[in-house]
Amino acid sequence: MNLLKPFGTEGFILGIGIAAVSYLLGPTIKRGAKGVAFKGMQGALMAGDAANDVMDSSREKFSDFIQGMMGDGKSNEIEQENNFQKELFNELKAEREQYSELMKELVSSVKSLQSEVSELKKSAATTTQASKTTVQTTNPK
């Protein structure tokens, strides 16, 4: 440490050492730094292009939104109302057709039940008459 006192500070020797190392490793660092800088610049340009694309698309969406609110708002509302009415009409028509089919099935079921009841009445009447005649023939008066 006493050797460093004549020069004034220890920083002077340290500076000379850094300069020597930089002189020896400078060309290698320069080549590596050039490649890193080139790739960094490419990445920055790509990021800038992506940011521009995002800004352009968001600007278009925002302008479309504003135009929709300002200019086309009334015609858009009328169109939406017409679409709603058409959908409602179509739903009501489909429900009516469904209920119509159910009513047809119900009517056919009632008719078949009526015919079955009339057949049962006829067979019951025939059975009752047959049993009365049987009873009369077996019990002579």
pTM of the model: 0.36
| Residue 3, pLDDT score | 55
On whether residue 43 sits in a domain, the answer given is: yes
Buried b (16+ CB within 10 A) or exposed e, 40-79: eeeeeeeeeeeeeeeeeeeeeeeeeeeeeeeeeeeeeeee
Are 49 and 86 contained in the same domain? no
- The residue type of 75 is S
Are 83 and 128 contained in the same domain? yes
| Residue 124, pLDDT score | 78
On whether residue 2 sits in a domain, the answer given is: no
On whether residue 111 sits in a domain, the answer given is: yes
| Residue 132, pLDDT score | 66
Are 83 and 124 contained in the same domain? yes
Print the domain residue range for 107.
Answer: 79-132
Are 122 and 83 contained in the same domain? yes
Tokens of 123: 């067979």
Domain count, the chain: 2
pLDDT tens per residue across all 141 residues of the chain: 455 555 556 677 777 888 888 778 777 777 777 777 777 788 778 888 888 888 888 888 877 777 766 665 566 677 888 888 888 889 999 999 988 888 998 888 888 888 888 888 888 777 777 666 766 666 655
On whether residue 74 sits in a domain, the answer given is: no
